[in-house]
Structure 1
Amino acid sequence: MGYKVAIVGATGNVGREMLSILAERGFPADEVIAVASRRSLGREVSFGDRTLKVQALEFVDFSTIDICLMSAGGETSKQWSPKIAAAGCVVIDNSSAFRMDPDVPLIVPEVNADAITGFSKKNIIANPNCSTAQLVVALKPLHDKATIKRVVVSTYQSVSGAGKEAMDELFQQTRAIFVSDPVETKTFPARIAFNLIPQIDVFMEDGFTKEEWKMMAETKKILDPKIKLTATCVRVPVFVSHSESVNIEFENPISADEARDILRESPGCLVIDKREPGGYVTPYEATGEDATYISRIREDPTVENGLALWVVADNLRKGAALNAVQIAEVLVNRGLIKPAKAA
């Protein structure tokens, strides 16, 4: 007997990817329902070769649903995830609402799948920030080998991380520039077309943005609280896929060749690293793919036991939808939940 799965936020970028990935991976679902706000009631979304009509969140009986993939934003999640969880449905939440809750596991399956057992405290599992997810996939096997002390990361994040309106704004601004129309800025604090913006999310008192803080705090929770990490997060005029320049300082020696060999054998990682023009991955190649791509692996001579890497992944997939579906697969494969109908 299969599971019943709800996608909340099914009309958004990530919700649509969740539906696509559930179908691609053959998730054992007898029924999948698309859920969104009341204003999306009756809209249609694709699920494999089928079309689903969107149901309104307020009218769904979650006591009959096994897994809820929540991608409707932090405020909606704060209001609805505890209610859905209390009805007996396991919530896998893509927002930041519960990531730092000590009673909610923050999971990247390739990195800390064993921590998932803690979900029973609140019936909620958190999906990490998109930039954190791909980073820890690359860091985990290297940390196991040589123990990471400190990480300095600069991100180059695509506009899809800010939603459909942000993607539309990049398109509209680019078109306006080519035809000499006025350039309108609504979603971003500055023009994004042919530009970049060194701010993602709001500024905090210490001068870091909330996006940068998320990377620092989430890496510690997922990987190791002893790791020191500092981040600079930058929005770039790319539609899909986040890139990261990563500098790592280790406690123990590790060479670039060792790192390359380790990462080639690590789950979720794909090494493309030739020291020649084009011998690396760009956001364009990573879009639509599931892997976390790692390139430009080299030793950093300015610190003892240092490496530098280039890490790229599709933020809508590994950074959000794919990771959520992988979490659901862990729940099912480890027998941590049973279909409600069977129960």
Structure 2
Amino acid sequence: MSVSLQTVTEDEADIRLDRWFRRHFPHLTQGALQKLCRTGQVRVDGKRVDPATRLASGQGIRIPPMPDASRPAPLLPAIDPHDRKELERLTVYQDECLIVLDKPAGLPVQGGPGIKRHLDGMLAALRDETGNKPRLVHRLDRDTSGLIVLARTPGVAAKLAAAFRGRAVKKTYWAIVVGRPSPAEGQIDLRLARIGAGAGALTVPAERDEEDAVSAVTDYRTLDHAGRKFTWLEMQPLTGRTHQLRVHCEALRTPILGDPKYGGDAAHPDGFVDRLHLHARALDLPHPQGGRLLVHAPAPPHLKETLKSLGFTEPAAPGPARQAGRD
């Protein structure tokens, strides 16, 4: 086999070189690729690179003769039909670029200590004919229900992840909180910090000059209220910090109903389903092929039950809408 040159496609832009090789040459090990880069046999636009190099559309990758090219790719595990059926049930929108799911409360997005079943592990059931599975591009808390986006390809994943990082995605959440915020609508600008590690880590309000503090901003407005006891809030986080909405609601002295980690006893009044009442209701995001995509998810069963018991009327969730010219 001779040396060849392959061009990075638009869909492959911004992925790492090692992931590009894993996609095109699954038999090549990470160690072998590192050696090929170190010795200059793999180059990008004629320059030496390392496996972590991010690629750009149109770049040329020098491909040397591949070692062990005849070795077959490892066999993929069988697709779990139950996972596929469940993911199809949760799908609210899909096209050739992405999938949007309505994640139920209680399903972890990724694995960890003591977690055997999680969304990322289920995604193998949606592998395409080349063995690639959809990729997560953002996260939701385990106890939060609602919309989460998956990318079908590495290039789309890079574009969507950049959109989430760059605040090009408008996220809308619903929450039932205990108490009534004052004012009824406004903006919470409260820096946050993380203390501890692992499952016991907490997000806490921080002083502006605190070394590890990060900016956290949330817009909120009251949709309805039951006297001063409970309020239905719509919230739009302008930043994406861990547990941001939960801590910001606690800072308003109106903790989210059923919050297992924040709010203390006040978050667990008698007479209600003791689950976190926080739901990712809508996403308005730039579509990788242009324009924008707007998707809504109806309230989950426990939130529906509480809305009804408080006399609140849930509006119907509009169907997905792809709109051109709104980048």
What TM bracket, shorter-length normalisation? under 0.3
Greater per-residue helix proportion:
1
Q: Which has the bigger relative contact order, CA under 8 A and spacing at least 6?
A: 1
TM-score, length basis structure 1:
0.26
Say which one has the larger Rg: 2
